[in-house]
Structure 1
Amino acid sequence: MTNDPETSESEYDGPSKSQVKREMHALLDLGKQLVDLSADRLKQLPLSEKLLDSIRLAQRINSREGRRRQIHYVGKLMREADADAIRHQLDVWENGSREEAAAMHQLEAQRDLLLQDDHALTELLAEYPQADVQHLRALIRAGRKEQEANKNLQPGQAPKRKHYRALYQELKTLQQTNP
């Protein structure tokens, strides 16, 4: 056997044994997360029928060793599943979608602008011509009154936010009907 660097590099045909073990452990951990999910959440994931049945069985097993073995079997079946799609969906459930959070912050900023500036309503109506102008004006007026009333609250009193929230919901509805 020669120690020629060119032949040793050409013999390499894949990830190291350690890398393969790390990937298998990651799939096992993902399988453990799936076993802890509710049935409704499991239905929303792209899982094969065999994998889904194995997860449900692991959820029913009470014996510590039996459950451990079943979770390892789930980890083995995870090799054939789309782990990236499953991880992404779990991340969305755990942390919320970044896009959803950004859209929510945009709506909140738009609501605050409507409560501060009359010209913002004109801009909103230009963007959403189908919007109910009278309803929006009523919500803005009531929201402004609510803000003024909240400025005069005694310490310990909860601020009123009924119209503040209603305006947000109206903006959200407008955005959903006209993406």
Structure 2
Amino acid sequence: MTEYNDDQWTSKSEQKRDDLVLQELGQSLMELKQGEQQRLPLSDALKKGLEEARRITSNEARRRHSLYIGRLVRESDSELIEKALASLKDPFRQQRLSNWVDQIANSEQARDADDTLQQILQAFPHGDRQQLRNLTRNALKAKVPDLTTATPEAKDKFKRERRKLMNYLNQLDKTAPLY
């Protein structure tokens, strides 16, 4: 007598649906820019396949190649790739960076912004603590207490220092590994 283990068995239709999902994941990987692809946890074979996909212009060849990419995704850690891709396409990423800049700008002194700086460094461990502290200190030094009575030069300086801080956070976000 043979025993069937329902946990191990999957129907052919279910396998096809899973393969279709992985193929769509592969197509979304093919649409990414090269710099974004480098941030993802991809196997060497998958990286080579995606590099080759950039050279393919024919629609039919691209469709066949997307099947190949889907197979490569299936062979690699697809769950890790999906998580990294989701964090790459996170719509609240820019809002989070803006909130951090606002929290720093609303601080009275540099010491008041230490909690925010710690949050930033936890999110981006590759960030330079000293540079981040300098940018924070410069932004707080350029801060004007009352925007209505401030001179245009003081307003421009504060905006410039704030923009420098925001640009640094954007740079950290673009270079952060997603895995």
Q: TM-score range by the shorter chain?
A: 0.5 to 0.7
Kindly provide the CA deviation profile for residues 2-40 of structure 1, in whole angstroms up to 9, marking residues without a partner as x: xxxxx98x5423333333222211110011111112222
Q: State the SS of the aligned residue for 2:42.
A: coil
Q: Distance in 2 between matches of 1:126 and 1:71?
A: 47
Which of 91, 105, 119 is the aligned partner of 2:99? 105
Indicate whether 1:124 and 2:112 are aligned: yes
Q: State the SS of the aligned residue for 1:69.
A: helix
- TM-score normalized with structure 1 length: 0.60
- TM-score normalized with structure 2 length: 0.60
Does the 8 A contact of 1:28 with 1:74 survive in 2?
Answer: yes
Q: Distance in 1 between matches of 2:5 and 2:140?
A: 73
Q: State the SS of the aligned residue for 1:62.
A: coil
In structure 2, relative to structure 1, the CA distance for the partners of 1:23 and 1:125 (3 Å cut) is closer
Indicate whether 1:139 and 2:133 are aligned: no
Kindly provide the CA deviation profile for residues 129-156 of structure 1, in whole angstroms up to 9, marking residues without a partner as x: x978x9676423xx224x1158xxxxxx
Tell me the percent identity: 26
Amino acid at match of 2:102: E
In structure 2, relative to structure 1, the CA distance for the partners of 1:52 and 1:148 (3 Å cut) is same
Residue 103 of structure 1 deviates from its aligned partner by 6.1
Amino acid at match of 2:112: L
Indicate whether 1:34 and 2:37 are aligned: no
In structure 2, relative to structure 1, the CA distance for the partners of 1:166 and 1:20 (3 Å cut) is same
Which structure's CA Rg is the greater one? 1
Q: Distance in 2 between matches of 1:44 and 1:126?
A: 28
Amino acid at match of 1:148: T
> Which residue is equivalent to 2:59?
64
* Higher relative contact order, chain-length normalized (CA < 8 Å, sep 6+): 2
The runs of at least 4 aligned residues of structure 1 exceeding 6 Å deviation read 125-128
Q: Distance in 2 between matches of 1:148 and 1:53?
A: 57
Amino acid at match of 1:139: A
Aligned runs of 1:10-21 on 2, under 5 Å? 10-12=4-6, 13-21=8-16
Aligned runs of 1:145-160 on 2, under 5 Å? 145=146, 147-149=147-149, 160=155
Residue 123 of structure 1 deviates from its aligned partner by 5.9
Does the 8 A contact of 1:55 with 1:71 survive in 2?
Answer: no
In structure 2, relative to structure 1, the CA distance for the partners of 1:137 and 1:37 (3 Å cut) is closer
Residue 96 of structure 1 deviates from its aligned partner by 5.5
Query: Structure 2 regions of 5+ residues with no counterpart?
Result: 118-129, 173-179
Does the 8 A contact of 1:58 with 1:67 survive in 2?
Answer: yes
